[in-house]
Structure 1
């Protein structure tokens, strides 16, 4: 079997949904890592005209595919022949698909939008921050379908792992304390060898691009500040020399 080529930018959560599943199923793959600022340029737009990651090229089937949900569905249907991460009964099969779509339409967009308004939007918009942080807490759930781990659970992990960047004043080590069942589930998921291998790869690719674990360039954050929450607190307090100009 030839390796599946995975196009990604290492900071964002979505590519790691695909890598996590590839690792869990033991499917050989190779990574094409590009910088975020290059997603709208060739060769990325030659693979995905929409200029987004992840995308895959599977030489075993001569298929190029983008959109993480579509890729996950393809990998499960094509390669999970033992139904390790799926079910075959009518109800469970479609409930899995339902939760995958909710991850793409609910979890990812709400987490991402909340993080944007908290940290990146040029103006503070309290009503938007309030709305989207409430949506983040609303969509947090626990076991999704059936009595075993499935691709739906795997798809939720990368965004949940970054939830501290979608909430106000929540440090990384306390990110799921308000949701004990979710926290226990998340810790079971992230203790898996497949996740650990995925994160070792992510750390390597981030380092190659000169990025901190939170996606910011190395040297952009003051010494001793490691989380978005601490960084924003310092900025708001007027203690960051970058904002004194």
Structure 2
């Protein structure tokens, strides 16, 4: 059994997509980031960076004590290696997946996160910041569109790279992006969107009925974090 510490964010969706694709048994432990539950001491023992998602695997492959993992990219890698799926075993195939996973973790996610922040949540509209991150989002979409011009999935075969990227493209309209301008990306997006496991993951999210994450009070918690 895997305990998934989760909230309904793109990074959270990555892991439910994997778990549904792999048909692994898991139990969702909601961490309401709008109420500051990510700062609870018990959660910080699992995720010292006070971010979701995190997991505890009670049946690790080495047969040892339960293992806890934080950071969505690390979780995806661990799970892929645990079941020997969605990550090639040959070095060239593995590196193809790894470089796009790192691209998502180091570029796509952070830049689109800033797009979301300045376009939707910042207390004042800063035109320079909005334009900066909308343009960078457009550039990154272009990189992905070019990657997909000669392949069905990001690293040729469906992999954890697709699971990592897809949830960040779901809110493309909020990011002020039109998928019609990125035909290869659009084709890929629709293919992933139509996978039964992906649909199940998002259906689970809807059924949790977590309510709105972002309120004026939650903004103080989410966007004014300093040293604790």
TM-score band, normalised by shorter chain: 0.7 to 0.9
Deviation string, structure 1 residues 173-215 (Cα, Å, up to 9, x no partner): xx4222121111101101111011101110012x1x323xxx5
Q: Partners of 1:102 and 1:71 in 2: how far apart?
A: 16
Q: Deviations over 1:45-94 (max 9, x none)?
A: 232122110000001021000000000110011112xx4x2222222211
Matched, 1:202 2:205: yes
> Which one of the candidate residues 160, 171, 175 is aligned to 2:169?
160
For 1:9 and 1:210, the matched residues in 2 are separated by 11
- Residue 113 of structure 1: SS of its match in structure 2? helix
* Backbone CA RMSD of aligned residues: 1.5
How many Å separate the matches in 2 of 1:195 and 1:204? 14
1:117 aligns with 2:118: yes
User: SS at 1:165's partner residue?
Assistant: coil
Query: What SS is found at the alignment partner of 1:43?
Result: helix
SS in 2 for 1:103: helix
Contact 2:11-2:52 within 8 A present in 1 as well? yes
Q: Is the 8 A contact 2:54 2:71 kept in 1?
A: yes
Structure 1 runs (4+) greater than 4 angstroms displaced:
none
Q: What displacement does 1:96 show? A: 0.7
Q: TM-score, normalised by structure 2?
A: 0.82
Q: Does the aligned pair in 1 maintain the 2:17–2:197 contact within 8 Å?
A: yes
Structure 1: unaligned runs, 5 residues or longer: 218-245
Q: Secondary structure at the residue paired with 2:179?
A: coil
Larger Rg: 1
Spell out, residue by residue over 1:116-167, the C-alpha distance to the aligned partner (whole angstroms, 9 max, x if none).
1111112221111111111111112133212x21111121111111122222
Greater mean alpha carbon deviation, residues 176-185 or residues 92-101? 176-185
Give matches, 1:104-183, under 5 Å: 104-140=105-141, 141=144, 142=148, 143-146=153-156, 148-167=157-176, 175-183=178-186
Check conservation: 1:56, 1:64, Cα contact below 8 A. Answer: yes
Mapped to 2, the partners of 1:133 and 1:92 lie a distance apart of 32
Query: 1:114, 1:132 within 8 Å by CA — same for their partners in 2?
Result: yes
Unaligned runs of 5+ in 2: 61-65, 216-228
Distance 2:7 2:170 in 1: 17
Deviation at 1:216, TM superposition (A): 4.9
Confirm or deny: 8 A CA contact 1:112 1:166 kept in the other structure. Answer: no
Select the structure with the greater relative contact order (CA < 8 A; seq sep ≥ 6): 2
In structure 1, the partner of 2:28 is 31
> Deviation per CA, 1:6-35, whole angstroms, max 9, x where unpaired?
00112x110110110111111111100121
* CA distance, structure 2, for counterparts of residue 48 and residue 86 of structure 1: 24
